[in-house]
Amino acid sequence: QVQLVESGGGLVQAGGSLRLACTASGRTFSRYVMGWFRQSPGKEREFVATINWSGSSTYYADSVKGRFTISRDNAKNTVYLQMNNLKPEDTAVYYCAAASGGSGSYYSTRRYDYWGQGTQVTVSS
């Protein structure tokens, strides 16, 4: 069992920055692939970024590439999402997720076994 708790959401002006954090507890966090997804009203939950167990490999959605950075600190059981140059279209509830066993694309929500409660990010113009 893995529990994920997110923090760092809030309201910012366009062009501003936020840093989200997700702290995990439970079995063998350091071996989990971690991801960030987001969901805005009326839309499907979409992939944002993912990071492997060691932090050596990261992948980003085209919409955030160059602006967002995912990282992890296994000693703290925490994954981060640094969001810079935020745009109004980034407004969404952001979720962190953990993938253990199984197979499939890490871009897909189906790949992940555990989810955080979500944290609201609102970017005003």
Q: Cα-atom radius of gyration of the chain, to the nearest Å?
A: 13
Residues 96-113: tens digit of each pLDDT: 999 987 889 999 999 999
Angle at CA 97, nearest 5°, toward 30 and 79?
50
pLDDT at position 26 over 90: no
Residues 58-105: tens digit of each pLDDT: 999 999 999 999 999 988 999 999 999 999 999 999 999 999 878 899
Output DSSP code: residue 20.
E
